[in-house]
Chains A and B, each alone.
Chain A
């Protein structure tokens, strides 16, 4: 049977020969061997079934016909160039940041800096393959295909250029480049929503992956400062602030998100004067934000609790005032501790955006369900579900991976044990 053992005991296994190693892994005892055989048979059966379905019976036309609907919903065709432009800008910024990250390894371990570590090479190949194969598999028109290629090319070219010339840049220039992200964020909302010279596209026309990403990123960006404030409030010695924060956090965490969205859709209209009452999409966005803030606050609170009291005292004794001490000394350390939990909350938030489909918004899941309800595509929901699952899984797993990489990069204590 799968006899339990402490993981560290397995270490010597790595030193064995491949065949023996396999045996030690799969069949340390006869019972284990039988169990392994059973599991292997099960896995093989599942793989054959799934493979047979994907190649034989699955009809991927449902995806090819609806790819734009799933990506951007009913966003007007004439204005879609704005989304492509935004995509190109995002790709450029991502490539730039990625390259600079490699070009400027942390000062204390410059000797380990490598311009193209193995992971980066794998990522570059994957991006190229995705850009080449995905549009073709979806049967996109030539012009659209070209745009995907362009996006990938921009990303990789800037990654290369930033890695190549990044070290020559002045430190101050680098600081300014950091400001590009928030700028791009605002620019993105302008490009998507229009106004100020661009034709307005109402939030009701955003849909699919676009709506999911807009909602998730909006809620993440705004819930972050809110969550930090709530966490500070909860740890404050001022009774009113403390109890106010506690009441808010516990109220939100006690209710299921769907009931809060329900409040947003059905009661917010009664609470605000009609003139400033936001439309359905923005109402849901604000509910998501307020919801995420409470969970984020709990993550940040645990981070704050991990910062020793002496840190604040040291900062104050150097003459920093309370706000300066919090911003430069306490909060950066707290966020570093809270990072894994916070990313966990962000992952949950991405998943929670699917609930928007329950209140009638056409996010990625809502759009997919709309397509499934179309008699023309009846019986092809499996394909859509599978693609959706893969999409969400990739988004969430990528966030998780990114957070682990960031953790390693940020933690100065992890360096303490290095030779």
Chain B
């Protein structure tokens, strides 16, 4: 056992390899950091967070958090973050619903419905999301008529000036109304928000439909037959027998789709919607604080991802336990 030179000893080699790689990475990082510090100090931009308290000087069009140009950058970023969260939550619910419906349509007895579901998924998944967002914003929502000509559905009016939804106002249920040539309603959304939501929901919905379809297909055929032999009909079988089993395949897939939805929401600026990313970009252009802005962005999206993962892991445990 003795007399083995150290460079051929299999106990030493792994550590040698790690040391070399570690050292290389360390040197690289050190080089980059020195450059960063040197370049930043030359530009007078060394890491500092004081600018967060300075007045932003730009306005945000549509925020949950009251905001105007005299308020600080920090609040602008926070308002952007809240907008991002709002988009994610609504799109998450919408795309889940759409995805579930389309995913189940793939098992319909109606050939036409099955075909349409397939076409929808294949078209949407193979066209870039950005292109779809631009399409919804410029070609659909901005092309809507306004005033009396606006598209009127029960409880919902789609107009170039915005989306108007029925809701409770002053204790009573109210629909959209035309007052002096402009629409009024308890719930109003901008066309930017509407276009972004529509684009995200149809895009992620297609991916979720595939997840749902795969999940249902993973349930062995014997389960359908067993349920059929007990006298259950199609919908009841799906609801009571198949879905509970399919969920344990579906939920992990959903987690991935929800996280990619959160990341995709950063394309909001294509529709002119002010989310976290677009506020961050404006902030950078005004302050030049690239490093700090990037840190804020990365931290925010990482936090959202972790939040979604944690919530979905909880759901996953629930689904997996119930199976036993």
User: Which residues of A pack against B, CB within 8 Å?
Assistant: 1-10, 25-29, 32, 35-36, 39-40, 43, 237-241, 244, 254-259, 262-263, 266-267, 269-273, 347, 350-352, 354-355, 357-358, 365, 369, 381-382, 385, 388-389, 392-393, 396-397, 400
User: Which residues of B pack against A, CB within 8 Å?
Assistant: 14, 17-18, 21-22, 25, 32, 35-36, 39-40, 43, 104-105, 107-113, 116, 122-123, 125-131, 134-135, 138-139, 217, 221, 224-225, 233-235, 237-238, 263-264, 266-267, 269-270, 277, 280-281, 284, 290-291, 294, 297-298, 301-302, 305
Cα separation A58 to B22 with both chains bound (whole Å): 60
Q: In the complex, what's the smallest C-beta–C-beta distance from A49 to chain B, in angstroms?
A: 13
Contacts of A256 in B (CB 8 A): 263-264, 266, 277, 301
Contacts of B122 in A (CB 8 A): 397
Contacts of B270 in A (CB 8 A): 358
A358-B18 in contact (CB<8A):
no
B139-A347 in contact (CB<8A):
no
Cα separation A8 to B225 with both chains bound (whole Å): 11
A258-B266 in contact (CB<8A):
yes
B18-A241 in contact (CB<8A):
yes
Given the known interface contacts A4-B238, A9-B224, A267-B290, the answer about A28 and B109 at a Cβ–Cβ threshold of 8 Å is yes
B39-A270 in contact (CB<8A):
yes
A393-B126 in contact (CB<8A):
yes
Checking B110, B139, B298, B302 against A381 with a beta-carbon cut-off of 8 angstroms, the contacting residue is B139
A-B contacts, 7 of them at CB < 8 A, read: A5-B108, A7-B107, A32-B110, A259-B266, A355-B267, A358-B270, A365-B131
Most buried by B among A240, A270, A351, A393: A270
Given the known interface contacts A388-B131, A389-B131, the answer about A263 and B294 at a Cβ–Cβ threshold of 8 Å is yes
Q: In the complex, what's the smallest C-beta–C-beta distance from A157 to chain B, in angstroms?
A: 31
A240-B107 in contact (CB<8A):
no
Most buried by B among A35, A258, A352, A389: A258
Cα separation A389 to B123 with both chains bound (whole Å): 9
**Nearest A residue to B223, CB-CB:** A6
B238-A266 in contact (CB<8A):
no
Q: 8 nearest interchain CB pairs?
A: A25-B111, A2-B108, A351-B128, A396-B126, A256-B263, A256-B266, A3-B234, A266-B290
Q: In the complex, what's the smallest C-beta–C-beta distance from A123 to chain B, in angstroms?
A: 19
Given the known interface contacts A2-B108, A255-B301, A392-B126, the answer about A266 and B35 at a Cβ–Cβ threshold of 8 Å is no
A258-B301 in contact (CB<8A):
no
A40-B112 in contact (CB<8A):
yes
Checking A254, A266, A365 against B305 with a beta-carbon cut-off of 8 angstroms, the contacting residue is A254
Cα separation A28 to B25 with both chains bound (whole Å): 65
Q: In the complex, what's the smallest C-beta–C-beta distance from B16 to chain A, in angstroms?
A: 10
Q: In the complex, what's the smallest C-beta–C-beta distance from A290 to chain B, in angstroms?
A: 13
Checking A4, A10, A25 against B234 with a beta-carbon cut-off of 8 angstroms, the contacting residue is A4
**Nearest B residue to A369, CB-CB:** B134
Q: Count A-B pairs with CB separation below 8 Å.
A: 170
Contacts of B18 in A (CB 8 A): 238-241
Q: In the complex, what's the smallest C-beta–C-beta distance from B261 to chain A, in angstroms?
A: 11
Cα separation A392 to B25 with both chains bound (whole Å): 38
Cα separation A389 to B139 with both chains bound (whole Å): 13
Contacts of B263 in A (CB 8 A): 255-257
Q: In the complex, what's the smallest C-beta–C-beta distance from A404 to chain B, in angstroms?
A: 13
A36-B224 in contact (CB<8A):
no
Contacts of B264 in A (CB 8 A): 256
**Nearest A residue to B309, CB-CB:** A254
Given the known interface contacts A8-B221, A385-B139, the answer about A2 and B113 at a Cβ–Cβ threshold of 8 Å is yes
Cα separation A40 to B113 with both chains bound (whole Å): 10
Cα separation A355 to B129 with both chains bound (whole Å): 9
Cα separation A271 to B30 with both chains bound (whole Å): 10
Contacts of B281 in A (CB 8 A): 262
**Nearest A residue to B22, CB-CB:** A240
Cα separation A269 to B111 with both chains bound (whole Å): 56
Cα separation A39 to B129 with both chains bound (whole Å): 26
B130-A365 in contact (CB<8A):
yes
Q: In the complex, what's the smallest C-beta–C-beta distance from B33 to chain A, in angstroms?
A: 8
Cα separation A8 to B111 with both chains bound (whole Å): 14
Contacts of B139 in A (CB 8 A): 381-382, 385
Q: In the complex, what's the smallest C-beta–C-beta distance from B297 to chain A, in angstroms?
A: 5
**Nearest A residue to B111, CB-CB:** A25
A259-B294 in contact (CB<8A):
yes
A244-B110 in contact (CB<8A):
no
**Nearest B residue to A38, CB-CB:** B112
Contacts of A240 in B (CB 8 A): 18, 21-22
Cα separation A389 to B126 with both chains bound (whole Å): 9
Contacts of A350 in B (CB 8 A): 128
Q: In the complex, what's the smallest C-beta–C-beta distance from A177 to chain B, in angstroms?
A: 31
Cα separation A43 to B125 with both chains bound (whole Å): 20
Cα separation A62 to B122 with both chains bound (whole Å): 28
Cα separation A270 to B18 with both chains bound (whole Å): 29
Most buried by B among A5, A27, A43: A5
Checking A3, A6, A271, A365 against B35 with a beta-carbon cut-off of 8 angstroms, the contacting residue is A271
Q: In the complex, what's the smallest C-beta–C-beta distance from B278 to chain A, in angstroms?
A: 10
A355-B130 in contact (CB<8A):
yes
**Nearest A residue to B298, CB-CB:** A255
Q: In the complex, what's the smallest C-beta–C-beta distance from B255 to chain A, in angstroms?
A: 12
Given the known interface contacts A3-B233, A267-B291, the answer about A385 and B131 at a Cβ–Cβ threshold of 8 Å is yes
Q: In the complex, what's the smallest C-beta–C-beta distance from B307 to chain A, in angstroms?
A: 12
Given contacts A254-B301, A270-B290, A365-B131, 20 further A-B contacts (CB under 8 A): A2-B109, A2-B110, A2-B113, A5-B107, A5-B108, A26-B110, A35-B112, A238-B18, A241-B18, A255-B263, A255-B302, A256-B266, A256-B301, A259-B297, A266-B294, A267-B294, A269-B39, A270-B36, A369-B134, A392-B126
Cα separation A238 to B131 with both chains bound (whole Å): 43
Cα separation A131 to B128 with both chains bound (whole Å): 26
Most buried by A among B111, B128, B233: B128
Most buried by A among B123, B281, B284: B281
Cα separation A43 to B17 with both chains bound (whole Å): 62
Cα separation A244 to B18 with both chains bound (whole Å): 10
Contacts of A385 in B (CB 8 A): 131, 134-135, 138-139
Q: In the complex, what's the smallest C-beta–C-beta distance from A297 to chain B, in angstroms?
A: 15
Checking B234, B291, B305 against A5 with a beta-carbon cut-off of 8 angstroms, the contacting residue is B234
Cα separation A388 to B104 with both chains bound (whole Å): 31
Contacts of A43 in B (CB 8 A): 116
